[in-house]
Chains A and B, each alone.
With several copies, the nearest count.
Chain A
């Protein structure tokens, strides 16, 4: 198996951009968890990092909205946001076009991917990379799951995408790390911005680290919208990671609602190397 790491993390722009306005104890706890994740990825010695994110109209619009798109560029740019506002400098991030192509060809046996030979990262990818590959020295392969413009891909297909990605990794010689970024409950860019449903988040995370497929796929968008906001649609990225880590469980390394970051900040990692089910 050449999938060597699987985890999830938050990507809210406030995490870096508004870091001085957060409770320092919570913030430092989150940052420490990001650092622990960085070291865990490093220890897994990946050749590339697949980032399954949910972007916010950076590259994709309803004139051609892919359910799932994978990057096939030699390099990428980001973040698109104002550098001072996001707290992250714009940079070029290395890709691996050959590896992307090999992954896309494998995954296409089961999942009808769009592909993109260029890609501008927004905070959905740039915030995680800021913590996890701060020197931008690990090739990144971006993936987007449409969580913004309905019709949205059903959750079961997100899980299937994860499984297909795992099979593709197994078929290739490279060592590949994957992270999902997004959610969990939040109401970004709406009058309810800052609201967080901690109970909902903890219940979801419990199902996620237990990798309880049926329970994960039982969520319905209508209910998610009511209880977890439209930002809750981003659970699709977590569910894809659960699919990639099928048969494995994980643990939550950090969870805390941080209102100024407008999301329940999350770091969770699947234990891939120890068959524990």
Chain B
């Protein structure tokens, strides 16, 4: 429902050092500023990169958040694959159409 809010927070973390600082100092306070469901809040806090991917977060946003939270490239890719195994196919957003994988 609030994929927009999830992506907005990640976008701002990517682009605004002041928001990154708030993540470091008061993560819960930062999360409270966005209209997030429990599941979304947990996925961002953990972080559960795979779940965020399945929720529909655009990879051009998500890969930077994964890096910020210490995921190397391979770990980021693996987290998305793991997310699909655990939570099923991507629910909404750019990546929902059925597509064959190589």
Contacts and interface: CB of A to CB of B under 8 A. Distances in A.
A and B: direct contact (Cβ < 8 Å)?
Answer: yes
B29 interface: no
Nearest to A229: B99
A118 B4 contact: yes
A236 to B, nearest CB: 14
Interface string B49-66: 000000000111111000
A226 B60 contact: no
A230 B62 contact: no
B59 A188 contact: yes
A110 to B, nearest CB: 24
Contact of A191 (B7, B58, B77): B77
B95 interface: yes
Given A148-B60, A190-B80, A191-B81, A57 B11 contact: yes
Q: How large is the interface on B (under 10, 10 to 19, 20 to 34, 35 or more residues)?
A: 20 to 34
Given A118-B4, A225-B94, 16 more contacts: A56-B60, A57-B60, A57-B61, A61-B11, A73-B4, A118-B8, A149-B58, A188-B60, A189-B58, A189-B60, A189-B63, A190-B80, A192-B102, A225-B97, A226-B98, A230-B94
Nearest to B93: A150
Nearest to A152: B94
A117 interface: yes
Chain A interface main SS type: loop
B20 to A, nearest CB: 14
A193 B62 CA distance: 14
Interface in A188-228: 188-193, 195, 222, 225-226
Interface residues of A, number: 25
Contacts of B63: 189
A195 B102 contact: yes
Contacts of B97: 222, 225-226
15 contacts: A57-B11, A58-B15, A62-B4, A62-B7, A62-B8, A63-B8, A148-B60, A148-B94, A190-B80, A190-B95, A192-B102, A225-B97, A226-B99, A230-B59, A230-B94
Interface in A108-163: 117-118, 148-150
